Amino acid sequence: MRLELTAEDQAFREEMRTFFTTEVPQELRDAVIEGRELGRAEFVQSQQILNAAGLAVPHWPEEWGGRGWSELRRHIWLEELQRAGVPAPLAFNANMIGPVLAQFASQEMKERFLPTTANLDIWWSQGFSEPDAGSDLASLRTTAVRDGDGWVVNGQKTWTTLGQYGDWIFTLVRTDPQAKKQAGISMLLIDMTSPGLEVRPIELIDGGHEVNEVWFTDVRVPGENLVGELNQGWTMAKFLLGNERVGVAPVGTVKRVLARAKELAGPQLEDPLVRARVAELENELLALELTAIRVAAHSAGAEPHPASSVLKLKGTELQQAVSELVLDLAGPASLASGAPDGPDGSDLPAWARRSAPTYLNLRKASIYGGSNEIQRQIIARTILGL
């Protein structure tokens, strides 16, 4: 089994590392490395720098901005991007609706939306989850009723991440209530400035505003905004969720945060228990990295490899474990969560004051993108044959 990179792939890694550390502003990367919350402007700035260099959507078809790279090179691209602290291309655009449009949409819809989606001129929101329809997505109840040439949408979506910045929302709606629940679903693209559409914030346990509810009250949607064929939404949802899990093991990010934790630990590293904990995390991270490279090297075609579930499961567990290590290193200083910087604020280190919100925020990692319980079911069924 060959796990070492070829000379060409190693040169590619150096090319990516040089670009990310020289072309993306240091201030922007520092914000990511220090765990500061980014706003819309920072995400747009970063993605447009990447897109101008052809590095925002390398996995798309080449006619729409893809690079035709192997799975291994895409893995290297993502790992170096994360290691450098570059904000990843917005997942809703790059990994979700973009590939769906490229695969299922009409030529007119592709030309209308794909270039602006790659460049983040349009910020997409995801309208999938509903109350009582999260992991059981097919139970969704938001309806779209035909009215002349268009649709009238009523219902509620929830956990809409960064929906406060959204321009458009790709939405699963029930278009045939009489059909089997997976068969009566379609996908609509909805302008978020449409009358009757309302975004309501949800406050999270870390005190941040990251997710929202989106309500639809008699929202009128042009018929041309239907993606693909009527009642084909479940097929597109499965395609989208499979792509969402590709590259979900945040190897580069965890590696960067763990290295920073060792720097921040200072004298605490003299404690043998702390050293043992760090060593165990480093070993598990190395195993994950080698698994990710092996999976990438053996992937073929457009379908996500079943082992992406292993990467999602272990990657999120390690991400949470490293955030817990940083929280423990901060100790009592972590209680100063939310204290402002500056002479009138706290004089405790900023990383320590952010450790608790970061730890709490990352509890979501084992839930989104298909919960880890769902990933265990996929592993049991498709890999272990149970």
What positions carry a catalytic annotation? 244
Nearest-Å Rg of the Cα atoms of the chain is 22
Q: Give the other-Cβ count within 10 Å of 17's Cβ.
A: 16
Closest by CA to 96, choosing from 289, 237, 201, is 237
Q: Give the other-Cβ count within 10 Å of 56's Cβ.
A: 24
How would DSSP label each residue in 179-190? S-TTTTEEEEEE
With beta carbons less than 8 A apart as the criterion, state whether 164 and 212 touch: yes
38: left (phi over 0), alpha (psi -120 to 50) or beta: beta
With beta carbons less than 8 A apart as the criterion, state whether 275 and 262 touch: no
* Distance, first Cα to last Cα, the chain: 26
Closest by CA to 144, choosing from 88, 223, 90, 208, is 223
How would DSSP label each residue in 169-230? EEEEEES-TTS-TTTTEEEEEEETTSTTEEEEEE--TTS---EEEEEEEEEEEEGGGEESST
Residues 6+ apart with CB under 8 A from 149: 222, 223
- Secondary structure of 49-95 as H, E, C letters: HHHHCCCCCCCCCHHHCCCCCCHHHHHHHHHHHHHCCCCCCCHHHHH
Q: Where are the alpha helices (DSSP H) in the chain?
A: 7-23, 26-33, 40-52, 71-83, 91, 98-104, 107-118, 233-245, 251-265, 272-297, 308-330, 350-361, 372-378
What is the residue whose two structure tokens read 């400035």?
Answer: 193
Say whether 154 sits in a helix, a strand or coil.
strand
